[in-house]
Amino acid sequence: DTEVTQTPKHLVMGMTNKKSLKCEQHMGHRAMYWYKQKAKKPPELMFVYSYEKLSINESVPSRFSPECPNSSLLNLHLHALQPEDSALYLCASSQDDNRPGFGSGTRLTVV
């Protein structure tokens, strides 16, 4: 879905590193999401931003820090991650009854 783009596609980071995942949507949606997906499991909701304000935090550890600079951009800042945080991280956007858009994901490996 090229209407939602995520960078980078792959990321390997050490447990002491700081990195950021980026997402941009061109669908004009006002809600944006971060999901975490482990192998053979459905995506798990992490955060929801609505109109650039954090509206839902699903009890995510503070080593994950979201940021929404504007209505089109969503970042996920990563710090001091653990190997079990290795997963596919998906960004999504939606508004009302319009079809949600999903990015192709960032495959994160924590070593």
Partner 1 sequence: DAKTTQPPSMDCAEGRAANLPCNHSTISGNEYVYWYRQIHSQGPQYIIHGLKNNETNEMASLIITEDRKSSTLILPHATLRDTAVYYCIVRVYGGKLIFGQGTELSVKP
List % helix, strand, coil for the chain (3-state, nearest 5): 5, 60, 40
Q: How many C-beta neighbours within 10 Å does residue 61 have?
A: 11
- Considering the rule CB under 8 A, would residue 107 count as an interface residue with partner 1? yes
* Piece of 12-20, 67-75, 77-85, 92-100 that binds partner 1 (CB under 8 A): 92-100
Q: Which residues bind partner 1 (CB under 8 A)?
A: 1, 4, 6, 31, 33, 37, 39, 42-43, 45, 48, 50, 55-56, 88, 90, 92, 94, 97, 99-105, 107
